[in-house]
């Protein structure tokens, strides 16, 4: 695609400014050489940016089954609410902003009710930031109770990749345990590694295989019996919200991804929100200030001296909370569990349509997502998960998450979400089956996919580590 500089024509401009009525400074007086700016009409500029916008892909363009990311459609009404003047143009120290404080207070109550927790902070700016915050609570708890020797966090191998990373960042030693045959936590292994040095367990549930751990109560009991605490990675709350509560399963703290389950656009590096909820005994350690209701008015209140301190300014990304609150009030008490059930139904429907052709990493009913393994296909005809993912792009859909979870070879992790219709799922199933057919007829075609994208197969490590974001100019 041409850059604005390629499109530049000397003397062309947007006729917006009136003629210059002051002395024009020649470059030699003020700078070494003339500013190198492209000269363009407004039409050129508009078309350039529209062309750029067409090269991105988002939920508004089509099916986006990125596993573990919950790329659901985000209702526009959320944006409208967040853009209201009283929310968008408020300063966090304006404590007479009763409406904003009330919204935060009510959102905290709703989310505590959904998770079975007693208190929550909105400071963390994303899921992984929430994990770090939750782990800091666990660390502070053990220190305050005279157990600084509890330095190990147990993380099953079906956890999200951020779990071991957050544990290490918080100064804990990570104890990895492999899953059992059925994809659930291996209870024997868990018992073996639990001991006097255990600070806690971090569980992603449903896990990255899309499985709800059937032994969930036993898991939290084993960890508690050893003196550890239980952390619930709630980024995958979509299939269980309004149905079961991590607090009732024995978990002591949790983070949520408002920008996944609770409907805020994400994926472009935009603002997120990873609130952390906890049981009452951990509340004194929460960061930031609390919002309390006194005689019908809302006020800030400092937390205890034992608080871990701020992990971010004020109340984190407030407007993301406004969007989540709008989403929750639109759905109501009946709508939240309906979201969960439809996300599970959609995943199972699509899985069922594919399972006679593609190989599943784990058979049986899944939750909101399922994992395919293309190991057999690769061995048989040399077509990899990467080839299939690239080929899907030519059909105008976003590929699923690839090569994750790590415990499945040639993985494709599919999460359709509840906001897709049966017609879309039927269409997508046809696409997947068509790609399978093509893979057998003409593997070379798949190795060359995508055939219709401006960028085809970049070196992914290089693209992530050394992105070229500027075009060097000659003069």
Q: Where are the beta strands (DSSP E) in 348-425?
A: 359-360, 370-373, 401-402, 411-414
Cα–Cα distance for residue pair 14/215, rounded to 1 Å = 66
Q: In whole angstroms, how far apart are CA 422 and each of 287, 288, 346, 426?
A: 44, 44, 8, 6
**Shortest distance in whole angstroms from residue 365 CB to ligand PLP:** 19
How many C-beta atoms lie closer than 10 Å to residue 245's C-beta?
18
Nearer to ligand PLP, 11 or 269 (CB): 269
List all residues 6 or more positions away from 181 whose beta carbon is below 8 Å from its beta carbon. none
**Shortest distance in whole angstroms from residue 23 CB to ligand PLP:** 54
Nearer to ligand PLP, 119 or 126 (CB): 126
**Shortest distance in whole angstroms from residue 95 CB to ligand PLP:** 29
**Shortest distance in whole angstroms from residue 72 CB to ligand PLP:** 13
**Shortest distance in whole angstroms from residue 342 CB to ligand PLP:** 19
**Shortest distance in whole angstroms from residue 272 CB to ligand PLP:** 5
Cα–Cα distance for residue pair 296/375, rounded to 1 Å = 61
Tokens coding 164: 């071991």
The helix or strand, by DSSP H or E, that contains position 299, with its residue range, turns out to be strand 297-301
**Shortest distance in whole angstroms from residue 211 CB to ligand PLP:** 13
How many C-beta atoms lie closer than 10 Å to residue 382's C-beta?
13
Nearer to ligand PLP, 237 or 446 (CB): 237
In a 10 Å sphere around its CB, with 0-12 CB exposed, 13-18 middle and 19+ buried, how is residue 413 labelled? buried
Q: Closest residue to ligand PLP, Cβ-based?
A: 127
Q: Is the dihedral of CA 438, 439, 441, 447 positive or negative?
A: positive
Cα–Cα distance for residue pair 325/122, rounded to 1 Å = 12
Nearer to ligand PLP, 172 or 436 (CB): 172
Contact of 410 with 384, CB cutoff 8 Å: yes
**Shortest distance in whole angstroms from residue 266 CB to ligand PLP:** 7
Nearer to ligand PLP, 228 or 274 (CB): 274
Nearer to ligand PLP, 179 or 384 (CB): 179
List all residues 6 or more positions away from 317 whose beta carbon is below 8 Å from its beta carbon. 122, 125, 271, 272, 273
Tokens coding 140: 């502070």
| Helix extents (H) in 8-55 | 27-30, 42-54
Q: Where are the beta strands (DSSP E) in 198-296?
A: 198-204, 229-234, 253-256, 276-278, 290-294
**Shortest distance in whole angstroms from residue 421 CB to ligand PLP:** 24
**Secondary structure (DSSP) of 227-244:** T-EEEEEETT-TTTTTT-
Nearer to ligand PLP, 233 or 418 (CB): 233
Nearer to ligand PLP, 242 or 274 (CB): 274
Tokens coding 78: 């959320």
Residues that bind ligand PLP (CB under 6 A): 68, 126-128, 160, 162, 204, 233, 235-236, 257, 272, 274
Query: What is the chain's Cα-based Rg?
Result: 26
| Helix extents (H) in 442-475 | 443-447, 460-465
Nearer to ligand PLP, 210 or 272 (CB): 272
Cα–Cα distance for residue pair 104/322, rounded to 1 Å = 8
**Shortest distance in whole angstroms from residue 119 CB to ligand PLP:** 21
**Shortest distance in whole angstroms from residue 394 CB to ligand PLP:** 27
Phi, psi of 203 (to 5 degrees): -120, 130
How many C-beta atoms lie closer than 10 Å to residue 405's C-beta?
24
Nearer to ligand PLP, 128 or 439 (CB): 128
In a 10 Å sphere around its CB, with 0-12 CB exposed, 13-18 middle and 19+ buried, how is residue 400 labelled? buried
Which residues share a beta bridge with 298? 293
**Shortest distance in whole angstroms from residue 166 CB to ligand PLP:** 9
């Amino acid at each position: 695609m041409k850059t604005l500089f390629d499109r530049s024509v000397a003397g062309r401009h947007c006729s917006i400014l009136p003629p210059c009525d002051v002395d024009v400074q020649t470059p030699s007086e003020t700078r070494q050489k003339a500013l190198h700016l492209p000269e363009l009409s407004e039409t050129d500029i508009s078309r350039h940016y529209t062309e750029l916008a067409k090269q991105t892909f988002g939920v508004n363009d089509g099916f986006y089954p990125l596993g573990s990311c919950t790329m659901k459609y985000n209702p526009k009404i959320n944006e409208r609410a967040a853009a209201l003047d009283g929310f968008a143009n408020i300063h966090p120290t304006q404590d007479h902003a009763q409406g904003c404080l009330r919204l935060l207070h009510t959102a905290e109550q709703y989310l505590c009710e959904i998770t079975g927790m007693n208190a929550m902070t909105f400071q963390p700016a994303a899921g992984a930031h929430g994990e770090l915050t939750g782990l800091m609570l666990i660390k502070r708890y053990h220190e305050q109770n005279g157990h600084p020797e509890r330095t190990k966090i147990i993380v099953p191998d079906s956890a999200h990749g951020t779990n071991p990373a957050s544990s290490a960042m918080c100064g804990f030693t990570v104890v990895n345990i492999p899953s059992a045959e059925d994809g659930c936590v291996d209870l024997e292994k868990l018992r073996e590694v639990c001991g006097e040095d255990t600070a806690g367990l971090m569980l992603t549930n449903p896990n990255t295989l899309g499985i709800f751990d059937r032994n969930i109560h036993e898991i939290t009991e084993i960890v508690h019996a050893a003196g550890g605490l239980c952390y619930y990675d709630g980024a995958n709350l979509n299939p269980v919200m309004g149905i079961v509560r991590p607090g009732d399963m024995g978990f002591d703290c949790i983070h949520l991804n408002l920008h996944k389950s609770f409907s805020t656009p994400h994926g472009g590096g935009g603002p997120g929100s990873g609130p952390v909820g906890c049981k009452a005994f951990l509340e004194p350690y929460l960061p930031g200030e609390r919002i309390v209701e006194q005689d019908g008015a809302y006020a800030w209140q400092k937390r205890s001296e034992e608080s871990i301190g701020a992990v971010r300014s004020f109340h984190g990304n407030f407007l993301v909370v406004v969007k989540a609150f709008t989403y929750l009030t639109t759905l109501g008490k009946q709508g939240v569990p309906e979201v969960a059930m439809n996300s599970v139904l959609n995943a199972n429907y699509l899985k069922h349509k594919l399972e006679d052709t593609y190989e599943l990493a784990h058979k049986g009913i899944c939750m909101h997502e399922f994992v395919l393994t293309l190991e057999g296909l690769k061995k048989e005809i040399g077509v990899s998960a990467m080839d299939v993912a690239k080929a899907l792009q030519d059909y105008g859909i976003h590929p699923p998450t690839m090569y994750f979870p790590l415990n499945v070879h040639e993985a494709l992790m599919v999460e359709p979400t509840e906001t897709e219709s049966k017609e879309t799922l039927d269409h997508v199933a046809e696409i997947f089956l068509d790609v399978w057919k093509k893979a057998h007829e003409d593997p070379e075609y798949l190795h060359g996919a995508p055939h219709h994208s401006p960028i085809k197969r970049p070196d992914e490590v290089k693209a992530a580590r050394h992105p070229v974001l500027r075009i060097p100019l000659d003069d």
